[in-house]
Structure 1
């Protein structure tokens, strides 16, 4: 086929031309954003230049010299389009290819051939998307490993997540939040295998459709869901030096009904490390007490997640979906030989030896049922979703104190801390297009969340190594705490294109929160005021030439405290550093402003974003000294927190075989509690810098080599700083048997025997420096194999509950459980 062009303009200086067009899906007519368009010189049979389509499927290739070319358009899941001969003459300035249609490619797992590689990072109007399914270094890891590779996110060695320096974020899984995510984000992430994650969406400026919670933004982890016909079984496993896992996932889709059944288990063993703490406490008489602690540590853990799903297509416009999921997390850690030396000047006042054993256990269940109705008008949709979620928690410790000779145990202290998070959610959403496919869009809905959190904590004491435990009769140490939180919300959003290249999305959300809390073994109740919040959001974007885009956004967010910040149980596993939650915390409010620019060049993407965040009533850890020279940590609503930041990231396709990606995030933070008394007034400020880099090279015979590294500088806190860290790995993978299976080898942190994090605390009366070490050098072998044959069937959408409204323990300072 020979293309003929009527769009012939005046001559361009240098005789160079521009080739443009629009890429759409053949069956639906929808644009195919980020499809790859490559221009191949016919005579040399090699690619000379290319472009990536924007969100409307439009692309433009500039600086094309006269000659004969062929255009190839590709995207994962579609058959490659190859044009006929394109002849560019000396006098042709602009060549419009018009509409190019891509046909969906049927997928047979025994025969699949992927043409081209979708960009690892995509930039859309309201979010940044990381395509984890294309990162082979993630085999054998979990969700926390995936999030370390995502721009704007930071994950420490314990799996605590922050976005642009803020740990007050919402983490959703397939658009839903369960009780386990609310209770402990880091542990929830460890239950999700990296192989099951399709993409990670980072939403820094959420619209009014999302819950108002999460000052830092929203992270949505999208797992691999299949609208395929047929039956399949996937087996994946990893055997490693310090961790191993085994996963099985099966699916059956026949006609209008589908079933999925899956399970994944992950074990970590013999994870060795160290702990050191040095603190100086200044008394009113000028004397300084010096405490020195050190211990060796060992951790073992077992995680598992199991699920069963069902979906049914009633007819063309009505769909049902239900699922049941179970998860467990068992983690035991030991501090062996915790030696505490106390000095006054050069005099040793006391030397105490302890062994500490901590058990952190949980099990959770999620049950959801969703109904979706579509209409003849394209894009019009109504959905009703329900979610019941429960998470049972056990966070116990045993502290064994040795006699002065360090030979025999003198006494033991035990703390049983049982918790339970339970919630029920009902959500209604309606999407109403007010015009055609490019017309205005109105969304509105309502939601209610009924939450109940409980904590039953008790302290026991026993004499000697085998004496019976007896309850310590003290309401501060043994009590029950109940916290009820009901949130009712309504929202609407409006999105419209205007002036050809502009898109506006704005909305308003109102949430009313009713709270009731009480102590089971006390006459008084906790008097916590209910409150209502009005939350606006605005997003504005403009499309520029060559797929470039500029965006501006503003939103207001709220962060409610939850059980890990409220729990009044006293955590005294280390008697020199005890912590306790605060049941009387208020929510924190944040105003977010940001502007970003993204561009695409020859298949590579670049983005720069500047932002400002202003938080009032920020929830921060506050440390004071108790009468017995013990450092006491609780949480308070401090005066304010401000952050000014800049983030840069890029994904560069050097060739068809070699790609590079990386990002740098930097922000200046200032925190102050607004107090004037010099003994209690606190403020701190400083820069925080982090970055990540990834390289991938496709070798011959289906071998692939990939490397990844991540580093984060120290983090500014109100009364000090949290230490820096670095993580890196190298992987090689081989696909076999027509790509149905793969085997890989990886090594992590192989240049350093032990990583350390150094934290610092500074107040008028306290100077503390603590170090946590972790021997995380490891080697792993990955194996993955797929059985079965599936073909595409993209007939429906699935919706579900999105609970995104509580402050969980993604905060690295959340020491209270």
Structure 2
């Protein structure tokens, strides 16, 4: 069968019902946690699970046994961790008890003969009593499936207080509960991700997972074209106050798109799951940023509507110095540059969504999200260039003075429509569609000044880009017996990237004209992907969980570049097909210890910034240009991890390895036309091998004081091609070790007061041609809850000692060396305020949701893309 025919069949399979499954490990027994408890459960939680806390009589011992299953009377789903009390019918007092496990199952053993009844209770459900029964010697009684009805009441106010762990581990992911983090309030998603184990965020907002930026970032399981354009830009549009959890998936199964070499990051925002009309206000004011957010929702009967808006304005100073030496033939050129900058970015995000229950087992949902980013920066660049030999660089070639106005503007729209039908518990079919479009403008205007400040000339670069995606996806899952799950599905993605660029120059007066050395051009890049997968999960009686699967993807590419003199140049980029297997195994041991192992193969396709052929010379000494001829990279991942709870301390440790072929990375080469300038572009360098380890802990020193933290480290070997002294390509390599870590402490005090301390650092990171510098941050915050916990007011300080953060980056090749020092004056003091208005009642059943998720595009820096979130234990993606 030809590749083209196979691609067509995969695409047509979407319309005929080919489907994907959302895995629910919780149905198959304790996945990754110890016996009788979900993974990541603390010691106090385990005690609640295994001990009945009511007042009991001394229970006589025998050999009777009772078993059963608790399910929701409406949805049929298991009710986890409900209380089951054994009542003596004569005294009407409880003499024994237990709780249901993650599958809703319960059992009581060693029961003495007697007359009893069972009482079932759980928050949000009505208490239910069984009929009286008799236990004789050796009786084994199965109560069958017990349906608990929802407790629907109208309340003037609902106050729910919980102390969920800040960090939880599930069978397929690590979960960071961001809503427990107070120092990031008033910030954006990048501020939250700095606190998540295994993640690192640099000063520009680029995210790395275990040392790799080849990741996929999702928002509520959904991709966005603005993430494909720039992960850093997308994170700045998401307010920290609206983030509920951050999920890190390091070993995705076959149901996920094959994109994203290192893993998936899914950002789950807060959703209101109650009836009624509500309005939430989030506001903050600080030395570096101010924000205002309004979010409202309405739900009644079968219909739910939500509407929200958020805006953030920032202001910050920065400076940098650049000292580089370039070999030109037998002569050397030295460039010294000093830059000062003032940033004035403004971000906004607006959402509208609705969901509607078509029938008891069918639901329809739709969402529209609009995001905007206006990043305006004013720069002053003073540059001196010298020439000479290796012993003397004292001949001044040039002095330049530039005032530069940079504008990085973007707007994005994501629209999705999703349908879910449930046939029976864990058997469902879904159809998901999504259209996503991002417009990106990356312009600069420069005044070229003389030594005394007089205007000598002007320069302007116009670069407009669009990125469009249309996705169709269908998924199906069905249980096989009680301990197996089969999933399969299909997807088609149609993607279009367009870039148009133009350089204009002029004297101190008159109109700007096309630059004859940089003629206008454009790039049209189309990518069509057809995919299908199958996945199988099996849980053994000995608590082994096996999840195996494979995914096939075919990618077709057509690209056309218009260059000088309006000449159209087709780019010969061949289509390619990939078979990507995945294997995940977990084992629950006694004492709450869990072992996990995983293997998967991933693809990383180039993103918009890597493909964009526009020559960005806002700083002519550090020119950026993309490479439309990039091909995807392939990565094989292995991982072994162990987690355990020792008294009040939860510990997780992992070893991992990655082997990447055809790796996409940044390459620096000297400019042929500008003295001392360096051009940064992207190439498929060859090979990259990474091995590393990470460990983190979460402990409760007291019931109100907790501490958590961790260390991440990795060793990397990179090999690729660069330019030698004779202008020919040569093979170079580099190795290095990187170390990072974080520490957080939280304290709950009396009268609604709480405090939090956070610190983070990342050591030097090796690159193919040098080393990226280290940096750190720290923050301290206090918060006071208002009356009835309807709101809060807080004060937080960040990097408040010293004069900001300094990051030093070095670059060394056979023909150039560079030292770049960035100084960010990011000390900050901020005041935050939140308040909730409205009346809510409990919803009678959980909402159903499905969504498209594309995870295949690489972002800025050395990495970028990956996709869809795994289903949370116990249910669908939320």
TM-score after normalising by structure 2: 0.81
- State whether structure 2 residue 332 is matched by structure 1 residue 288: yes
Aligned residue among 487, 494, 505 for 1:443: 487
Counterparts of 2:751 and 2:295, CA distance in 1: 28
- State whether structure 2 residue 236 is matched by structure 1 residue 190: yes
Tell me the CA shift for residue 494 of structure 1.
0.7
Partner of 1:806: 857
Counterparts of 2:717 and 2:656, CA distance in 1: 14
Counterparts of 1:408 and 1:620, CA distance in 2: 40
Q: CA RMSD in A?
A: 3.0
Counterparts of 1:221 and 1:140, CA distance in 2: 17
**1:271-303 C-alpha deviation (Å, 9 max, x unpaired):** 101011000112332x32211100211100000
Tell me the CA shift for residue 402 of structure 1.
1.3
Partner of 1:352: 400
Aligned residue among 403, 416, 422 for 1:368: 416
Partner of 1:524: 569
**1:71-90 C-alpha deviation (Å, 9 max, x unpaired):** xx999x77999xxxxxxxxx
Counterparts of 2:577 and 2:561, CA distance in 1: 25
SS in 2 for 1:682: strand
Distance verdict in 2 for CA 1:605–1:292, change over 3 Å: same
Tell me the CA shift for residue 631 of structure 1.
1.4
Tell me the CA shift for residue 173 of structure 1.
0.6
Partner of 2:827: 777
Aligned residue among 246, 251, 254 for 1:200: 246
Counterparts of 1:340 and 1:74, CA distance in 2: 77
Higher relative contact order (CA 8 A, sep 6+): 2
SS in 2 for 1:681: strand
Aligned residue among 379, 384, 392 for 2:439: 392
The 10-residue stretch of structure 1 (362-371 or 129-138) with the greater mean CA deviation from structure 2: 129-138
Counterparts of 2:488 and 2:126, CA distance in 1: 39
Partner of 1:693: 743
Distance verdict in 2 for CA 1:102–1:162, change over 3 Å: farther
Counterparts of 2:148 and 2:327, CA distance in 1: 72
Tell me the CA shift for residue 795 of structure 1.
3.3
**Mind listing any 5+ residue stretches in structure 2 that lack a counterpart?**
1-54, 85-97, 108-119, 128-144, 866-878
Partner of 1:310: 354
Counterparts of 1:634 and 1:748, CA distance in 2: 34
SS in 1 for 2:751: coil
Partner of 2:610: 565
Tell me the CA shift for residue 523 of structure 1.
3.1
User: Is the 1:53–1:547 contact (alpha carbons within 8 Å) kept by the matching residues of 2?
Assistant: no
- State whether structure 2 residue 469 is matched by structure 1 residue 423: yes
Written as runs of structure 1 = structure 2, the 5 A alignment for 1:199-218 is 199-218=245-264
Partner of 1:617: 662
User: Is the 1:273–1:772 contact (alpha carbons within 8 Å) kept by the matching residues of 2?
Assistant: yes
Counterparts of 1:108 and 1:666, CA distance in 2: 52
- State whether structure 2 residue 718 is matched by structure 1 residue 667: no
**1:304-336 C-alpha deviation (Å, 9 max, x unpaired):** 000110110011011000111111000011222
**1:750-799 C-alpha deviation (Å, 9 max, x unpaired):** 01212111111100111100011111101100000001122232333211
Counterparts of 1:105 and 1:548, CA distance in 2: 36
Written as runs of structure 1 = structure 2, the 5 A alignment for 1:106-255 is 111-255=157-301
User: Is the 2:335–2:676 contact (alpha carbons within 8 Å) kept by the matching residues of 1?
Assistant: no
SS in 1 for 2:344: strand
- State whether structure 2 residue 449 is matched by structure 1 residue 402: yes
User: Is the 1:179–1:389 contact (alpha carbons within 8 Å) kept by the matching residues of 2?
Assistant: yes
Count of residue pairs brought into register by the alignment: 752
**1:135-194 C-alpha deviation (Å, 9 max, x unpaired):** 222211111111111111101121110100000100011111011111111111111111
The 10-residue stretch of structure 1 (129-138 or 208-217) with the greater mean CA deviation from structure 2: 129-138
User: Is the 1:651–1:661 contact (alpha carbons within 8 Å) kept by the matching residues of 2?
Assistant: yes
**1:477-512 C-alpha deviation (Å, 9 max, x unpaired):** 410111001111001111110142100111110000
SS in 2 for 1:701: helix
Distance verdict in 2 for CA 1:586–1:6, change over 3 Å: farther
TM-score after normalising by structure 1: 0.87
Counterparts of 1:401 and 1:169, CA distance in 2: 40
Distance verdict in 2 for CA 1:791–1:574, change over 3 Å: same
User: Is the 1:205–1:217 contact (alpha carbons within 8 Å) kept by the matching residues of 2?
Assistant: yes
Distance verdict in 2 for CA 1:356–1:235, change over 3 Å: same
Tell me the CA shift for residue 433 of structure 1.
1.0
User: Is the 2:724–2:815 contact (alpha carbons within 8 Å) kept by the matching residues of 1?
Assistant: no
Tell me the CA shift for residue 55 of structure 1.
5.8
Partner of 2:635: 590
Written as runs of structure 1 = structure 2, the 5 A alignment for 1:534-549 is 534-549=579-594
Written as runs of structure 1 = structure 2, the 5 A alignment for 1:316-335 is 316-335=360-379
Counterparts of 1:188 and 1:105, CA distance in 2: 40
- State whether structure 2 residue 515 is matched by structure 1 residue 472: yes
Tell me the CA shift for residue 208 of structure 1.
0.7
Tell me the CA shift for residue 346 of structure 1.
2.6
Partner of 1:508: 550
User: Is the 2:72–2:79 contact (alpha carbons within 8 Å) kept by the matching residues of 1?
Assistant: no
Tell me the CA shift for residue 562 of structure 1.
1.9
Partner of 2:597: 552
